[in-house]
Structure 1
Amino acid sequence: MKKLNKRIQNNKQKVEKRLYHQKEAISLVKETADAKFVESIEVHVALSIDPKYSDQQLRSTLILPKGTGKTKRIAVLIASEAIKSEYLELADIIGSDDLIEAITRGELNFDILIATPDMMPKLAKLGRILGPKGLMPSPKAGTVTTDIWLTLQEFKKGKVEYRADKTGIVHLLIGKSNFTDSDLLENLVAIYTSIENNKPIGVKGRYFKTFHISSTMGPSIQLDISTLK
């Protein structure tokens, strides 16, 4: 424990109380991600929004150019007669009423649930199971679709959903500590651009407050937002 605390303190001392250029921040976050496992790299973006107002809520999706480095299990809920063999190439689980029964039993062996619109009424009763875990399909998340094949391809390529929490902060995984600097930078800029392009209509004045990047066990580093533009 003493070694761990010393390592954490040493890494904190490497971070100065100032804004970092995007490339400098990525280099430093990788340097301080020195745990004995591959750490995740996340961003935490504070916005000047109040999500209790409908015109200041932020929820969207984007495809991270270099993915997240995390493999996610995808389940597809679709009418049995509409199942196609090619879906099996990308989906980990495909089902109809049998999948609904499995979910009812609490069998949630997936990270993403994609459903066709006609199956949504059957899922309504499972909101109490899927909702708290963030697994309920929705159009905003891109998980309610009539084009299963395209949607599967997008999520396999690194499509992620993000939303601002009740305090107006977006938390998002952008990769792993073993990513190259250029790959992390590409994902970082993609996230900034997506959040900027999805600015809620109710936001007046300054939109971005702060933009931090950190690893699982590392210190938080504040970016100079102007270097992301």
Structure 2
Amino acid sequence: MKRGKKYQKVTEKILDSAVSLKNAVENVKKLSYSKFDGTIELHIVTILPKDKDPKSIKGSVSLPYMESKSSRIAVAAPAHLEKTAQEAGADIFKFDDLMEGIKAGKIDFDILLATPDMMAQLAVHGKALGPKGLMPNPKNGTVVAPDKLAEVVGEFKRGKLVYKADAAGGIHVAVGKISYTNEKIEANVKEMVTAVVSLLGKSKEYVIRKAFLAPTMGPSVAFDIKLMD
């Protein structure tokens, strides 16, 4: 694919080898040529056993410095918990309304939380929810114990992220904006890497093959995960 002149010009500044996280943050800002406050994304390539399906890698994380984008939260819970969900900030909290909307193809929410006893009823809409990554799953914290419902709704309303690996084992998450301080971006990256490492249960050198930071407009910068601290 032929790149534009701006892209070609900034790539002249790229270092050949991976750098420390601190230097990667500095460089990715310099390499961004968007005229707006672009997003910085973290791209992680994981190392997985041959018998492990990359699509089974999924989780959730609250980054320490991330502006909430006001996600719309839907909750599938018994009638006696509807008020709890509403007061915690859920946008859709009546189960009958939720089910009617899904059946009609009206999926106007970003995250769906469910208590365990409602999963069987949601399963009939698996073909509608699954491809969009909206089917609740214990692995990413969207299947919620009734006594934790208010707490979890609040976490997601404040910007908690759901992530999952693609078919190649790659994980892609926004970790800040160009306008963020370097320290805030570094802290968000470290928290995300820690979450992935914790999920896979090994030290970072054994679960992460490569890591990059990339701006909305501009080339990516590889960094050495051993040089994060």
CA distance, structure 2, for counterparts of residue 68 and residue 18 of structure 1: 31
Offset at residue 197 of structure 1 (A) = 2.0
1:1-229 equivalences in 2 (<5 Å): 5-50=4-49, 52-53=51-52, 58-67=57-66, 70-84=69-83, 87-145=86-144, 146=146, 147-200=148-201, 206-229=206-229
Offset at residue 25 of structure 1 (A) = 0.9
**3-state SS of 1:81 partner:** helix
**3-state SS of 2:194 partner:** helix
Which of 86-95 and 185-194 deviates more?
86-95
Offset at residue 51 of structure 1 (A) = 6.2
Q: TM-score, normalised by structure 2?
A: 0.87
Could you tell me which runs of 5 or more consecutive residues in structure 2 were left unpaired when the two chains were aligned.
none
| Aligned AA (2:167) | K
| Aligned AA (1:172) | V
CA distance, structure 1, for counterparts of residue 83 and residue 179 of structure 2: 36
CA distance, structure 1, for counterparts of residue 141 and residue 120 of structure 2: 17
RMSD, matched Cα: 2.6
Offset at residue 94 of structure 1 (A) = 1.8
Which of 160-169 and 141-150 deviates more?
160-169
| Aligned AA (1:181) | N
| Aligned AA (2:178) | S
Could you tell me which runs of 5 or more consecutive residues in structure 1 were left unpaired when the two chains were aligned.
none
What are the superposed Cα offsets for residues 201-221 of structure 1, whole Å, 9 maximum, x if unpaired? 7x9x83321111101222110
| Aligned AA (1:14) | K
Which of 98-107 and 151-160 deviates more?
151-160
What are the superposed Cα offsets for residues 72-113 of structure 1, whole Å, 9 maximum, x if unpaired? 221122223321267345222222111111011111111111
**3-state SS of 1:18 partner:** coil
Which of 9-18 and 44-53 deviates more?
44-53
Contact 1:48/1:207 (8 A) holds in 2: yes
What are the superposed Cα offsets for residues 124-157 of structure 1, whole Å, 9 maximum, x if unpaired? 1111001000011111111111221110122133
Contact 1:43/1:214 (8 A) holds in 2: yes
CA distance, structure 1, for counterparts of residue 149 and residue 72 of structure 2: 15
Structure 1 runs (4+) greater than 4 angstroms displaced: 54-57
Q: TM-score, normalised by structure 1?
A: 0.87
CA distance, structure 2, for counterparts of residue 28 and residue 218 of structure 1: 11
Change (3 A) 1:52 1:97: farther
Offset at residue 165 of structure 1 (A) = 2.4
| Aligned AA (1:210) | K
Change (3 A) 1:89 1:162: closer
**3-state SS of 1:206 partner:** helix
**3-state SS of 1:194 partner:** helix
**3-state SS of 2:161 partner:** strand
**3-state SS of 1:70 partner:** coil
Change (3 A) 1:55 1:186: closer
What are the superposed Cα offsets for residues 32-73 of structure 1, whole Å, 9 maximum, x if unpaired? 223133222111111221464269953222211112553322
CA distance, structure 1, for counterparts of residue 163 and residue 150 of structure 2: 22
